[in-house]
């Protein structure tokens, strides 16, 4: 198989990893889930009591109906908030479990978004995105963040911000970059920092996969946004300048060390994509 085909396949693989990161979901304790659901029902019952006229006697059935009428995504979110508020489990476990379940719900939804307005979709806890004229269902970062930020510790807050930034501003579309190379370098740097900070947490797998995927795209390029110029065969200058800035100012970081090593290899080959450079990339991303 020739080199271009190898990297086309690898690009597809790493992009797949990036957008379909698999979370290791922990099975929640049933008693805690029931307690969380009871608390949500109690809260909804309180709302009903407050909103009904004094001449109407509310019942538990009213609260249950209100609870059941909520969307599945919102129920997941309500349970997350209750658990974060009560501090019943580790935040990294709660957040990654919620995001995994939320993504699974998203993949199973069957409603026709072409017949729905943006607000109707957002009411369900999702968002509409556009790509090449088509509409598609996606994650809603406002929904993800709403009601939880005040309960998050610094590490969890940093994770949610990085995670949602990647959704709001996707890196790639149609086998090409949709962000600047400077932004791509920054993502390698940010996820590298977070990967080192989040070792031994449930965030680790997502952080490592994001760091590796963005680094792969930066070093190798994509079919429609190559790392090496089609005509000159030289490494992209914008990417190089951004990498050199990180190397200069943040050498003792994961990204800084990775950039220093790659730039040294490129320098030895006059920044051309030679067999030496290709061999280095093959070994790095094997």
Q: Which residues pair with 134 in a beta bridge?
A: 131
Task: Yes or no: say if 71 and 124 are a contact pair by the CB < 8 Å rule.
Answer: yes
In the Cβ-directed half-sphere of 153, how many Cα atoms lie within 13 Å? 10
pLDDT at 28: 41
Strand, helix or coil at 256? helix
pLDDT (tens digit per residue) in 11-23: 544 544 454 444 3
Percentage of residues in the chain with pLDDT exceeding 90? 66
Task: Yes or no: say if 214 and 191 are a contact pair by the CB < 8 Å rule.
Answer: yes
Q: Which two tokens stand for residue 117?
A: 């307005």
Q: Which of 15-19, 154-158, 214-218, 266-270 has the lowest mean pLDDT?
A: 15-19
pLDDT (tens digit per residue) in 212-245: 999 999 999 999 999 999 999 999 999 999 999 9
What is the Cα–Cα distance from 132 to 121, expressed in whole angstroms? Answer: 20
pLDDT (tens digit per residue) in 22-49: 433 333 444 444 455 445 445 544 443 3
How many CB atoms are closer than 10 A to CB 94?
A: 23
Percentage of residues in the chain with pLDDT exceeding 70? 76
- pLDDT at residue 164 is higher than 70: yes
Q: Which residues pair with 20 in a beta bridge?
A: none
Sign of CA dihedral 186, 192, 197, 203: positive
Q: Which two tokens stand for residue 222?
A: 């994509």
225-226/221-222 β-pairing = antiparallel
DSSP H or E segment with residue 129: strand 126-131
pLDDT (tens digit per residue) in 196-210: 999 999 999 999 999
pLDDT (tens digit per residue) in 71-115: 789 999 999 999 999 987 899 999 999 999 999 999 998 888 888
Q: How confident is the model at residue 133 (pLDDT cuts 50, 70, 90)?
A: confident
Q: Which residues of 38-60 are buried (b: 16+ CB within 10 A; e: fewer)?
A: ebbbeebbeebeeeeeeeeeeee
């Amino acid at each position: 198989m020739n080199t271009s085909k190898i990297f086309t396949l690898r690009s597809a693989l790493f992009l797949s990893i990036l957008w379909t990161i698999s979370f290791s979901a922990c099975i929640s304790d049933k008693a805690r889930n029931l307690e969380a659901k009871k608390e949500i029902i109690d809260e909804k019952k309180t709302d009903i009591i407050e909103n009904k006229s004094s001449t109407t006697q509310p019942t538990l059935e009213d609260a249950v109906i209100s609870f059941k009428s909520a969307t599945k995504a919102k129920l997941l979110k309500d349970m997350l908030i209750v658990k974060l508020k009560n501090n019943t489990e580790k935040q990294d476990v709660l957040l990654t479990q919620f995001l995994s379940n939320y993504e699974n719900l998203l993949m199973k939804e069957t409603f026709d978004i072409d017949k729905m307005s943006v607000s109707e979709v957002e009411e369900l806890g999702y968002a509409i995105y556009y790509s090449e004229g088509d509409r598609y269902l996606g994650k809603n970062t406002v929904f993800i963040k709403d009601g939880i930020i005040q309960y998050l510790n610094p590490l969890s807050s940093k994770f949610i911000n990085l995670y949602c930034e990647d959704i709001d501003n996707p890196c790639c579309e149609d086998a090409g970059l949709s962000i600047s190379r400077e932004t791509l370098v920054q993502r390698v740097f940010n996820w590298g920092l977070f990967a080192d900070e989040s070792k031994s947490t449930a965030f680790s797998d997502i952080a490592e996969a994001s760091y590796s995927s963005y680094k792969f795209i930066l070093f190798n390029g994509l079919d429609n946004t190559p790392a090496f110029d089609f005509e000159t065969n030289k490494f992209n200058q914008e990417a190089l300048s951004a990498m050199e800035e990180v190397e200069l100012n943040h050498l003792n970081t994961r990204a800084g060390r990775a950039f220093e090593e790659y730039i040294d290899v490129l320098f030895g080959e006059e920044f051309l994509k030679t067999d030496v450079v290709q061999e280095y990339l093959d070994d790095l991303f094997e």
